[in-house]
Amino acid sequence: MIMEQTVLVTGATSGIGRACAETFLGADYRVIVTGRRLSRLHDIFEKYGERCHILAFDVQDRKASEEAIASLPAEWQDVDVLINNAGLALGLEPEYEGDYTDWDTMIDTNIKGLLTMTRLIVPTMVKRNRGHVINIGSVAGDAAYANGNVYCATKAAVKSITDGLRIDVASTPIRVTLLKPGLVETNFSNIRFHGDDERADNVYKGIVPLTGQDIADAALYAVQAPNHVQIAEMLILATHQASGSVIFRQG
């Protein structure tokens, strides 16, 4: 591993993103932690100090994203690893009853936000002839499940975008990885159900779900693989989950 590499993690204030930030900080990387909630970013900075740099912005806002990246001090501008983690699901209802605002937020975050960050960071990687992009997809991108319609579509788009980037940089040493988690117990379901804690808790009943740390460990593994090894795609499921829609629940 090359010491003092710089990692940028989007959506680093909670869940998988925060686990990725803290895992890479613990492995002697420098990390740019980004997210919407400045207070939570400060919590990470207070814990790790000068090994991290915080940027508060929403990837849905392209102008804010551009300004945030442009504001990076010179010593933080060369990003070696980009982890496009920011994303969310909103609502779980038939497509014909979906909420327009939920649709826009998922598309603007999961697809357009990821594209914006890729466009802002990867050109410098190409210029430096080194780098690694990790996109956080989902098992939901492999096949739609009941009432998942637009969220599943956004994660299918993430897979296609990731595959396309890998093709586009195949002539360079840049590696591109897609991580596809299944059930991960974070605040994901609470956000999906707009703060309905009881409904969110039911998602994980009867099964031991993955944790954000499990996904962060996979990201670190991909980055620390030998330079000639590209972990192109990794599907990570809980033991009793077979697909996005097939889950064996005990009790």
Catalytic residue ranges: 151
Backbone angles phi and psi of 136, in degrees to 5: -90, 105
Q: Which two tokens stand for residue 155?
A: 């994660």
Please report the DSSP string for 142-163 in residue order.
Answer: TS--TTTHHHHHHHHHHHHHHH
Question: What gap in Å lies between CA 52 and CA 80, rounded to an integer?
Answer: 14
For residue 115, give Cα distances in angstroms to 89, 122, 123, 165, 166: 18, 10, 12, 10, 14
- Whether residue 117 contacts residue 134, with contact meaning beta carbons closer than 8 Å, is answered with no
For residue 37, give Cα distances in angstroms to 8, 11, 55, 56, 208: 16, 9, 10, 7, 29
- Whether residue 23 contacts residue 81, with contact meaning beta carbons closer than 8 Å, is answered with no
Question: What gap in Å lies between CA 43 and CA 146, rounded to an integer?
Answer: 38
Half-sphere exposure of 203 (CA within 13 A, CB side): 23
